[in-house]
Amino acid sequence: VFVDQGEPLGTGHAVLVAERAVGAADEVLVVGGDFDPVTPADVRRLLAVHRRTRSAASILTTEVEDPKGYARIVREGTRLLEIVEGTDAPPELRRVREVSTLVFAFRRKDLYAALPLVGRENRQREHYLNEVFGILLGKGERVSAVRVDTGGLMGPNSRAELAALGALLRRRIAEAHMAAGVTIEDPGTTFIDVDVRIGRDSVIRPMTLLEGETRIGAGCVVGPSTRVVDSRVADGAVVEHSVVKGSRIGRGATVGPFAHLRPGTVLGPRAKAGAFVEIKASSVGEGSKVPHLSYVGDATIGRGVNVGAATVTVNYDGYRKHRTVIEDEARIGSDTMLVAPVRVGRGAVTGAGSVITKDVPAGALAVERAEQKIVKGYRRRKDAEAARAARGGER
C-alpha cells in the first residue's frame, strides 16, 4: 500500500498520514527512506527488546565518527533517556557520537496518540518523528534504545557516502557467501546482488558482477572480469572474461574468454561457447562446441556438434528473424554462412567458406564456393608493372 504524504512536513507528519493504512496492527515498524546500513538481524534484535521490555517505542542507534546533522542519543543500558535532533542539540550533546538510525518500533496506539502532539517549533519547521519519544517519556512510558554496528556509516547524503555505503553492503554480502563455503578471491572488486545464490566450493574471481536473480551452482568458477545477470549456471561450469544475460549454462559447460551470451541462450552440459562468440536466443546441445569468433542467433544446435571458427547464422533478412537448425553430430566448417531458414542434417558437414542457403541432408557434405584458379607468374608481372610505374613517376 502506498500513501501520498502530500506536502512534506517532516517524518512525523509522514507517519501520521499513513495511520489508515496501518490499520489495527498492534505494532508498527517504521524504516526511513534514507537507507541506514542495518541488517535483518538488527531489526529482529530491536523487535525482541521492544517486546521483552514492553516498550511503547524502541529505536535502533549506532555510533558514527561525525555525528553532525543526526539526532543524538542519551541512554542508560537499553533505556532511552533523551533524543535530540542534531540541528537543535545544545553544545554538550553535540559531542555525543551515538545517533539515531531511521529504524523504529512502536505500539500503534501510543504512536498515534502522541503524533498529534508533535509541534513544529524547530529550525526546519517540520513535525519530527523523534519528538514522539520525548512525548512518551514525558508520560512515563518505557522507551528502549538498541545499539548496533553499522560500520560507522549512516544513510548517504553525498556521492562519496553512497559509495562507502555500497562498499559496506557488498562486503557483508561477500562475507555471508564465504561463510557458506564460497571462495571470493577479491571481495573489494566483486559485486554480488543480495538475491544471488551461489553453491558451495564455487570460486568467484576478481572484477566479477553477479546481478539480479542469478544462480550459480556448486564447484563453478566465475571470472575474472565477468558479468552474469539473471542467469543460471549449473554445477562445475566455468565462465571467464564474459557477459551472460538471461541465459542457462549447463553442468560442466565452459564460456569464454570474451563470450557474450544474450537472453534466451541455453548451453547444454559440457557445451562450449569460446573466445569472441556471441549467442542469442539459441540452444546448444550437450557436448557441442562453438569455440571461437562466431555468431549464433535464433538457432537450435544438437548434441556433439562442432561449429568452426567465424561461422555466422544469418538470421535476419531486414524484416524478420529466421531459425537455423543444426542436428546432432554435424560439423560446420570455418567461415560458413548459414542463411536462415536452413537445416543441417544429422552428421552432415559444410565445407569451409561456404554460404549455405539450402537444407543439407543427413550425412551429406555441402560445399558452396567458386573454383580456385591458379595464375602462374602473377607476382612477378605485378612487381615489374609497379617498378615501371615508379620509374615513370621519377621523370
- Contacts (Cβ under 8 Å, ≥6 apart) of 379: none
Q: Tell me, what's the pLDDT at 90?
A: 79
- How far, in Å, CA of 353 to CA of 369, rounded? 7
Tell me the pLDDT of the chain (395 aa) as tens digits.
Answer: 888 888 888 889 999 999 899 988 999 999 988 767 888 999 999 999 999 999 999 999 999 888 877 888 999 999 999 888 777 777 778 788 899 888 999 999 999 999 999 887 766 778 888 889 999 999 999 999 999 988 777 778 789 988 988 998 999 999 999 999 999 999 999 999 999 999 999 999 999 999 999 999 999 999 999 999 999 999 999 999 999 999 999 999 999 999 999 999 999 999 999 999 999 999 999 999 999 999 999 999 999 999 999 999 999 999 999 999 999 999 999 999 999 999 999 999 999 999 999 999 999 999 998 888 999 999 999 999 999 999 876 65
Over residues 222-239, the pLDDT tens digits come to 999 999 999 999 999 999
Looking at domain 11-147, its CATH superfamily turns out to be Spore Coat Polysaccharide Biosynthesis Protein SpsA; Chain A (3.90.550.10)
Residue 68: the pLDDT is 79
Classify 127 in phi/psi space as left (phi over 0), alpha (psi -120 to 50) or beta. beta
| pLDDT at position 157 | 79
pLDDT for the residue numbered 347: 98
Give, in order, the Cα–Cα distances in Å from 19 to each of 12, 22, 51, 217, 333.
Answer: 11, 5, 21, 45, 70
pLDDT for 41-63, tens place per residue?
999 999 999 999 999 999 999 99
Q: Environment class of residue 154 by beta-carbon count within 10 Å: exposed (0-12), middle (13-18) or buried (19+)?
A: buried
Q: Where are the domains of the chain?
A: 11-147, 175-366
Cell numbers linked to 342: 536452413
Fold topology of 175-366: UDP N-Acetylglucosamine Acyltransferase; domain 1 (2.160.10)
Beta strand spans in 205-276 (E): 208-211, 215-216, 221-222, 226-229, 232-233, 238-239, 243-245, 248-249, 254-255, 260-261, 266-267, 272-275
127 is catalytic: no
C-alpha 72/C-alpha 83 separation (Å) is 6
pLDDT number for residue 70: 81
Show the cell assigned to 216. 550459480
Q: Which amino acid, residue 331?
A: R
Beta strands 215-216 and 183-184, pairing class: unpaired
CA count, 13 A, side-chain hemisphere, 187: 16
- Give the span between the Cα atoms of 157 and 105, in whole angstroms: 24
Matching residue, cell 535476419: 316
Task: List the catalytic residue out of 13, 50, 292, 322.
Answer: 292
pLDDT at 391: 87
Can you give the pLDDT at residue 214?
Answer: 99
pLDDT tens-digit profile of 188-200? Answer: 999 999 999 999 9
Residue range 266-322, pLDDT digits in tens: 999 999 999 999 999 999 999 999 999 999 999 999 999 999 999 999 999 999 999
**CA-to-CA dists, residue 124 to 10, 15, 102, 135, 177, angstroms:** 9, 17, 18, 19, 43
Using only C-alpha atoms, the chain has a radius of gyration, in whole angstroms, of: 33
In which element (H, E) is residue 178 found? helix 159-179
Taking CA atoms, 187 is separated from 82, 199, 226, in Å, by 40, 17, 14
Residue 235 backbone dihedrals phi, psi, to 5 degrees = -50, 140
CA distance 191 to 210: 6
